Structures are given as structure tokens and as C-alpha cells.
Amino acid sequence: MPAPRRFFPDEADRPYANPHRARAVAHLRRNFRVDRPVVRARLYATALGVYEARLNGEAAGDALLSPGWTDYAKRLDYQVYDVTGLVREGTNVLGALLGEGWYSGYLGFYPHRPRHIYGTEPQFRARLALDFADGTAASIATDASWRAGRGARVYSDLLKGELFDARLAVPGWDAPGFDDAGWAPAGLGAGTEAACRASRAPPVRVTRRLRPVAVTRAPDGTHVVDLGQNMVGRVRIALPALPPGRVVTLQHAEMLDPDGSLYRANLRSAAAEDRYVSDGAAASHAPLFTLHGFRYVGISGLDAPPAPGAVVGEVVGSDLDETSEWETSNPTLDRLRDNVLWSQRGNFVSIPTDCPQRDERLGWMADVGVFLPTAAYLMDVQGFMAKWADDVLDARSAEGAFPDVAPRGPHGPDGGPAWGDAGVIVPMTLYRRYGDRRLLERCYPAMRDWTDLVSRQNPDRIRTKRCGWNFGDWLSAGETAPKPLVATAYHALIASLTAEAAEVLGEAGDAARFRALFAEVRAAFGATFMTPAGRLEGGTQTGYLLALSVGLVPDDRVAAAVRHLVSNIERRGTRLSTGFLGVRLILPVLTRHGHAELAYRLLLNEGCPSWFYPVRQGATTVWERWDGWTAEKGFQSARMNSFNHYALGSVGEWLMADMAGIADDGSAFARLRLAPVPGPGVERCRAAYRSPRGWVRSSWRQGPAATAYEVELPANTAGMLVLPFPEGARLTRDGAPAEPDRLLVHGGRRSAGFDLGSGRYGFAVATG
């Protein structure tokens, strides 16, 4: 339903402007009568835009920003609400608030087309299905009988913010008894040819609330409220009675300038500003169809600082169950893990976005590709990512090319190495974690077509053609891996993963063909980029990490390649130089090749670049850049400097899979591999993961003469426990002397292996 023209009761009395030319939130309503008892009422609703459905003066549910972001030309999700308790006999009113959202509001960072990416006018569609006690049924749908008006939300835009003029509020507009004779017919829009289907993903909701930890005064007199945590969502504020027409402005920021004022330069064109115009009465208010990434809120227009309890930060995101527990003896490490979790909370909003604060908030695919293993430890992302996998499929080009971002939205180019390749990486990661064969079947044809497309474009198996924007190892620090090397390593990776998917699905011919392709790319990689001494072109950390993790290094050169990697790290003062693509790999590769102590030293390093450096500067989320702010240089370039970006937080996978030792063999945790790796600087670690088969628990504590381990496997699972077992060590199991089921030697280090079924076990390895 198109929205009617914006209006104001008195143009001369308007104490503000709408510089963004954003649309007002439409109010839509329709009366209907119920003349007999209702036993069930279900509301089916969707929109081109974002909506809040209402029935008899109440919201149909607590979801926000429904129906979420999809490619509206191809797929439109709908939601279903049980509204049985809201229907009454007699007159009823079905209504909706309708905003622009991703459909026609500001989106991305493209100045040539900042808005109207999918359309210019939001539309709403709904059907209320009523089942009566006498066995009959009826339905109320959106049609020409609906009426449309305007209210207090002069505009509400995801990037720009919301303007709410309380003097324009229309009390009772969504309840029986309201006279809508002055409202306009809503009209019927052209609609869309997109497939309409029930939403797979959990809804976006307010998931928690934060109270301020401090209120200060900026040099310009603005009251600066510190919520203590970089978050994504909105502010709910209790406002005192103010003179009619008084404007209260809330500006949002992640950081402060040295003088205590808000640092907002990194927001670029995102206004991130909410305004409330008083009607003279006290009020409690929160914006509806906007989100901000912020820790600090600057409030102007009040006569005094906000009263205690007047400001609440409402954290908004896709409502995903958290599936892990974590605690160690190192507070900085625990804060790092919490920062990773908070970045996931803030960037999993309908789709997995890159950042929540500036004029971008796009589904960059490589970011998800590297972070997904961590994300799946921290939250149950199966439904959320299954929905996004469909966004990726919808975003393919006519010849089968994956994009850089999904939904593709305003970003036109086809995807490059790692970014487009996430169309292969993500489905296989989800299959390994959740065992979702149906998702893999749905994605496999596109995975196959993409891998074939990359192969056809690069017949010599060195990937230099059709690489799109080719970001390489994005935002690396101090050294840059050669882009052809990175691209070719990813060529090999997608060939290997597509072969694995084909084997799972019984596509034997494809499996053999892609295994052969992997062998060809592997041979070309070695001949082009690696010397007989195991030295890689460029000599970068990321180059060695990709080659070793993907299996591109000949067996007789693996040890040499590992030595070159270790030398690079130590030459840099035990600091990493990786960007988005290498960061996930560095600790796992070191650990698997016998350098766990170096992995710990790298993890716990507090210099820049490192994971701990931002934490030591007070970070409460993961930064986009290692040097987003430094004591020597201050803020990095405001053109690209997010302080809430999960890609570098992909270290969370190593924390769970290696430090805590909770992993599996790719069987969706039907068979576990528990291999905890204690190391220097951490005396104890306790972790748990709610796998698809139940809770897996692992803990260890290092003492002066022994290390104690406890593990727990859920019902109907089995696994192997692998413990460090140096020469001369003594082993106990549940307090009694024991011998390992098998003795393992890898990288010159001995380990004890135990075959375990479901249950709880205690072990100790004494070395004193």
C-alpha cells in the first residue's frame, strides 16, 4: 500500500527541517466486525519496507524491523503472529505502522544512489485469518477499504535516525472508535513479483537493556551519557515536561574525542540522530524504525542532565540463542571473548553486516566466511545463516557469479577471491556444524557453478582473471600478501570444498572432477609461488597460513614453510601482520604444527597490532582495524574506521576449538575431538558449548606439578580426548592411575588419546 503525502498541521510552527527528505511513517488501519467467538486468530504480514502490525491498539508481537532485509525483487519474507488474545467481539481495528527500512531508505555508502535501491514507496500486505467456535472461518486482508494517515514520526530512517513530533501524535488511531473520515484511501500498490515465503530467521528484537555508567558534559554543553558498552540498538529516554515545540536531540557515537565530545567523523554520511519535539507533556520515548551503533549518547535540549534511570540503551539484534560459556584466569582474555560476542550481537541484524554505525552496514561475504566458525560457537546461527544463504543465492549474476555482499543491494560488482568464495565456504561450514543436508542441497548447484566459473576464467590455475575488486588480505598490518597468491589459494579451497559437498550429496562425478581441479591448482600454486626451500613469494604470514591450512605445501616442504612462518612472527616481536583472511588461521596453524606456546604468546601480546591492544584501550567490541586508535596517532582515517567489526574476532574459533579443546570431525558434533591445549599466561580455562546434540564441557587448570582436565560429552555422542603427555609424565583418570588408549606423536610432541562415550570424566597429567 503506498503511503499518502506527508503533512504538518502548521508549517510555520515547525521548529525543524527534514534535510534527508526521508518519508514519514505511514499509519494504516481498517475496521472489521466479529459477531461470534473466535478460537484462533493468525495474522500474516509483510512489507516492502519495515512494519509494525497492530490490532486493537496493541502491537501484534515484539519483533522489530520486520520483515527484514531480502532482495525484494526476488524474495519477500512474511511473519505469522498469534493474535487470538487481541481479537474481541464487536468492532476491531487492524493497523500497521510502515516505514522505509532497507527498501527505499538510505542504504550503503554510494553517493550516486544513496536510497531508493529497491523502490520509492513502501507497501504493506497482511491477512488476518479467523477461526470461529462454530467451525466457520473468515479472513481480513489488505484491500481498497484501508485508510492511511500520518502521525508523530515525521521520518524514521535506518541510517539517518528518527524525527518524532509529539504534537502530531494521533491517539487511538489503531483502536475502535477512532474517526478516520479525514484520512485518505490507502490505495493499492503495484506489489512485487517476488516469491513470498515464511521467514526462516529468528526475529529482530530488543534482547537486553543497558544502564548508563556515567554522565558528563561536553564543551558545547551537551550531556554525554556513557552506557559502558559499544552496542547496537536505540535509546529509550524518559523526558520531563518541556515547553511545547522544544526539540531534544540524541546523537550517537562509539568513541569520544580527547575533549570529551562525541567522535562522529567515522559515521560518514550516517546522521545517527534522533529528535523528539515536545508537546508539553512528560513522555517515555524510543525511535521505531532506526538503529545505531554507539556507546555514547549526546543529549541536547534538556534544561538539566537526564535524571538517574531516565536513559536506557535497548540492545537490538536478531534474537539468537547464545550457545557457549567461557571463563579463564586472564581477565583481558575474557574481555576479548566478550568483545567478540558483542560484535556478533551488533552485526547480526536480519543479515550479518560488516559494521553497524556508519553508512554501510552491508553483508560483506568474506567477513562472514572467516567469522562463521566463531559465530556458530557463540550463538545458534543455523536459521539465521540459512536465511542469509538464500540472500546469497538471490544475489548471483545471470552467469552464476556470487557477489561481494548479500543482499547485493546497491553494490553491483561480482565477488572477488574470498568474498565471492564465501558462497561455497558458508554452506560447507554450516553443514559441518549443523548437519543441514537440505541447505547444502539447495546451495550446491550455485557452489558448483561458481567454482566452474572461476576455473574457466583461469585455465592456467593461477587466479588472476575475474577477481572483481580483489581486496586481498584486507586491512593487513605491516605486510601485504600477493593478491594472486591469495586468490589462487582460495581457488584451491573452493575446489576442495565443492568436492566435499559433492561427496556428501552423492555426486561422484563432480567430486572426482573437483578433486582433480584441486590437484591442478595445488601444483600450479607450488610451481608459481613456492621455492624448493619452502619459501613463499612475499614471505607474508597470511601467505604461509593459507598455503598450510588449505594443503598447498608439498609434504617435504611443510616443516620449512612452518619455520619461515615462525621466523616472520618472531622477527616482528611476536606480533601478527594478518588482515581479515589470515587472522582466523594464525593460531590454529601454529598449534597444529607444534608451536602452541608461540600461539599463546601471540594471543596475549598487548602491543599494536594485537587482539589485546584494543582491549587495553578500553574497547568493548572488536575493531575493524588493528590501529583504529593508538596512543601515538589517535584515530585512524575516518573514511573507514569502525569500532564494531567482527572479522578480526575470528580468533574465537581457536579459543573454543583449541584452547578449550571443544571441536568435532565435521559430523555436527556426533563425534567429538576434545584436544585442550594449555599454554603460558593462562592458569585455567573453563568452556562449554551447546552443540546440536547437547552441552559439551571442557576445563583445565595448570598447577606447579600437574594439569587437571575435566570433560563432559552429551548423550548419544562419542569422541576422542587428546591430552599433552610429555615423556616421563604420569596419568590419572578419575583419580586412579591410567594408561592412554593410544599414544600419539605429532610435530615431535607426545599426546595421550582416550576413546570416550557420553559422560563426565576427570584426568590429570603430572609432570613434576
Residues annotated as catalytic are 360, 624
| Strand-pair category, 223-239 with 283-285 | antiparallel
Closest CA to 685 of 694, 674, 693, 672: 674
Q: Which residues in 324-337 are b (16+ Cβ under 10 Å) and which e?
A: bebebebeebebbb
Residue 261 CB-half CA count within 13 A = 8
Q: Mention every residue, 6+ apart, whose C-beta is less than 8 A from residue 10.
A: none
The amino acid at residue 314 is E
The amino acid at residue 522 is R
Q: Rounded to 5 degrees, what are φ and ψ at 601? A: -65, -35
Q: Rounded to 5 degrees, what are φ and ψ at 337? A: -60, -40
Q: Please state the separation of Cα 386 from the chain's center in Å.
A: 13
List beta partners, residue 76.
196
Q: Is 334 helix (H, G, I), strand (E, B) or coil?
A: helix
Q: Mention every residue, 6+ apart, whose C-beta is less than 8 A from residue 147.
A: 28, 29, 30, 180, 183, 184, 185, 186
**Residue 648 DSSP symbol:** G
Whether residue 115 contacts residue 106, with contact meaning beta carbons closer than 8 Å, is answered with: yes
Closest CA to 288 of 267, 268, 311, 316: 316
What is the chain's percent helix, strand, coil content, to nearest 5?
25, 30, 45
DSSP track, 660-678: S-EEESSSTTSEEEE----
List beta partners, residue 237.
285, 311
| Strand-pair category, 749-766 with 742-746 | antiparallel
Q: Is 523 exposed, middle or buried (0-12, 13-18, 19+ CB in 10 A)?
A: middle
Q: Please state the separation of Cα 532 from the chain's center in Å.
A: 42
Give the CA distances from residue 184 to residues 1, 5, 187, 476, 483, in Å, rounded to whole numbers and listed in that order: 12, 9, 9, 56, 58
What the block records as the C-alpha cell of 51 is 512494519
Other Cβ atoms less than 10 A from the Cβ of 476: the count is 22
CA distance 653 to 134: 56
Residue found under cell 583445565: 700
Residues in the chain: 768
Q: Mention every residue, 6+ apart, whose C-beta is less than 8 A from residue 586.
A: 541, 545, 576, 578, 599, 602
Q: Is 525 exposed, middle or buried (0-12, 13-18, 19+ CB in 10 A)?
A: buried
CA distance 532 to 536: 10
Q: Mention every residue, 6+ apart, whose C-beta is less than 8 A from residue 75.
A: 194, 195, 196, 197, 390, 394
CA distance 474 to 464: 17
CA distance 149 to 183: 5
CA distance 391 to 398: 15
| Strand-pair category, 26-34 with 147-150 | antiparallel
CA distance 643 to 614: 10
